[in-house]
Amino acid sequence: MSELFFNARSWRQLGLGEQEIKFLEELWLRAGGAPPPNQNLGQVTETVSVLETSVSQQSNLNNLSRRDLISALSLAQEKNQGLEARLKRLDLRINQLEDAQ
pLDDT in tens, 74-91: 989 988 888 888 889 988
The tally of domains found in the chain comes to 2
Residue 42 or residue 68, greater confidence = 68
What's residue 81's pLDDT? 87
Q: Examine the domain organization and report whether 31 and 50 are in the same domain.
A: no
User: Is there a single domain that holds both residue 23 and residue 45?
Assistant: no
By residue range, what is the domain housing residue 13?
1-38
- C-alpha distances in Å from residue 32, one per residue of 5, 36, 41: 10, 12, 25
Do 63 and 101 lie in one domain? The reply is yes
- The verdict on 32 and 59 lying in the same domain is no
- Which amino acid, 19? Q
**12 shares its domain with 53:** no
pLDDT in tens, 2-57: 456 788 888 999 999 999 999 999 998 888 887 777 777 788 788 889 999 999 99
Band (1; pLDDT cuts 50, 70, 90): very low
Looking at residue 25, its amino acid is E
CA distance 6 to 76: 55
> How many helices (H) does the chain have, and how many strands (E)?
3, 0
pTM of the model: 0.42
Rounded distance between C-alpha atoms, residue 31 and residue 28, angstroms = 5
